[in-house]
Structure 1
Amino acid sequence: MDSFLLLQAKEVIRKLGSKPIFRIFRSKDILMQYFPSIQRKDLKNWVDLKSIMVNLEKRKYKSKKEWIADVSMVWKPLLGLQPINQLLVAVTHEFRNLAIKLVSDIPDNEHQQEIKSIQAIIQEMNLLTQRTINQDLTT
């Protein structure tokens, strides 16, 4: 994973970990503290946000695909736990939805990032132009 993607990946993990509701995904101990019915054996395939950040710091991910696989292991194993805790399922679905959005927003390289920035500027300019036209029509 190159430096550009590494920085993007770290930012995604920071965003996910900074949300108070997703605090439970930071470590196994925290998750088990909030959901005592979950046993350590239930989490053998589970990956926490702290481990992902450590792996990013140590540059253990060779590719974006490897990193995304670990991010998906934050939520996938929890949805298969029995008996299902409805609160955990709801929070896990929220986490999954945000993680997918943040991961899919990451460009593959700096060139794509520049294109994305230019597209955002063009979209903003179009909105401003439309507002100006609408104001002119109403005056």
Structure 2
Amino acid sequence: MMEKSQWADGCGVTLLILELLVLALPVTVLDGIGLLFLSRPTGHPDYAPMLVGVLLASVALVGFWRLAFGFLLDGLTLRDAPRWARWCTGTGVLLCLGALLVAGVFNRLNALAFVGVLGLPVMVPLGHMLAVSRRVPTPPPLP
């Protein structure tokens, strides 16, 4: 049976790092800018949902980046990831999908739906990490 080569592992890690740099890092920067703009209250009706969404997204991004660095440093697995990072990232996934579902059902693009759309690029590297981490190792061949 043919084993997966180191070249394929290296290519997968390179792809994950590119996904993190191109997709997840800009979303993290935009979240920080959003927190700066929302630091002073306004009279806009979407202020409260946007503030809640951005705060939850910040918590989710902290958990996501802990998972990402742990994944890369622990040998391409999420098995040793702390429980709080999993919960934070799961909160972000639920926020993203819930916001998009609410926007789709009510056919109204509000600020919370915008937060949900910004969460989609983070799902790509997260899915990549989950797929690689869930693979079942093949047993050694019988003698």
TM-score where L is the length of structure 2: 0.38
Looking at CA atoms only, which structure, 1 or 2, has the larger radius of gyration? 1
TM-score where L is the length of structure 1: 0.39
